[in-house]
A and B are shown apart, each in its own frame.
Chain A
Amino acid sequence: NAGVTQTPKFRVLKTGQSMTLLCAQDMNHEYMYWYRQDPGMGLRLIHYSVGEGTTAKGEVPDGYNVSRLKKQNFLLGLESAAPSQTSVYFCASVQGAMQPQHFGDGTRLSIL
């Protein structure tokens, strides 16, 4: 039982490149979330999903897109990476709306 798995763990991109971050959970959780963690700003919610096929915007959605085609996977896409998107990205999942979230190990993304 791996819990929440994020791939890749590290990536360096050039400005304008695109990439997709994958979050996979094996706990059959309904809700999934993408956050970014920046120094002095804590974690901020980018997008979230309340179930397969549904997504919604969080606090800082601009420049990102998401998809939840399968219940266990939640993808975060950067279509045209910008240096301001340099951050550590965390995925989380939870079964019930008011339960504590389970986090992945994070993806460290640097955009030059």
Chain B
Amino acid sequence: AQRVTQPEKLLSVFKGAPVELKCNYSYSGSPELFWYVQYSRQRLQLLLRHISRESIKGFTADLNKGETSFHLKKPFAQEEDSAMYYCALLIRTGTASKLTFGTGTRLQVTL
């Protein structure tokens, strides 16, 4: 069965320090992976997806099929990056598609 693992519940970094939020997945098919972010008291919003290979708000994520990972990285953390981050795996089941979420990592950026 598919599974998404985010090993860190909380990641605390200083402003300006590099950030890496870990995500590993387990899935027998071809993975479609996303990072969603939830700022305080706001709805979940898409941060980035692996097929677009773009950088959003300075964040990047590369799919590593060999290590089954999709870690989220940013070279210099900002205070406004403090939020809850969820890695999610999208799978197709018949005519539908479903997202399997990791348990999330809270990123705390301090001065």
Interface of A toward B, CB cutoff 8 Å: 4, 31, 33, 35, 40-45, 48, 50, 56, 58, 90, 92, 94, 97-98, 100-101, 103-106
Contacts and interface: CB of A to CB of B under 8 A. Distances in A.
Contact of B44 (A44, A56, A90): A90
Nearest to B92: A97
Nearest to A104: B43
Interface in B62-111: 86, 90, 92, 95-104
A98 B92 contact: yes
Contacts of B86: 42-43
A42 B99 contact: no
A42 B104 contact: yes
Given A40-B9, A42-B86, A42-B103, A48 B45 contact: no
A50 B95 contact: yes
A42 B98 CA distance: 15
B43 A48 contact: no
A40 B103 contact: yes
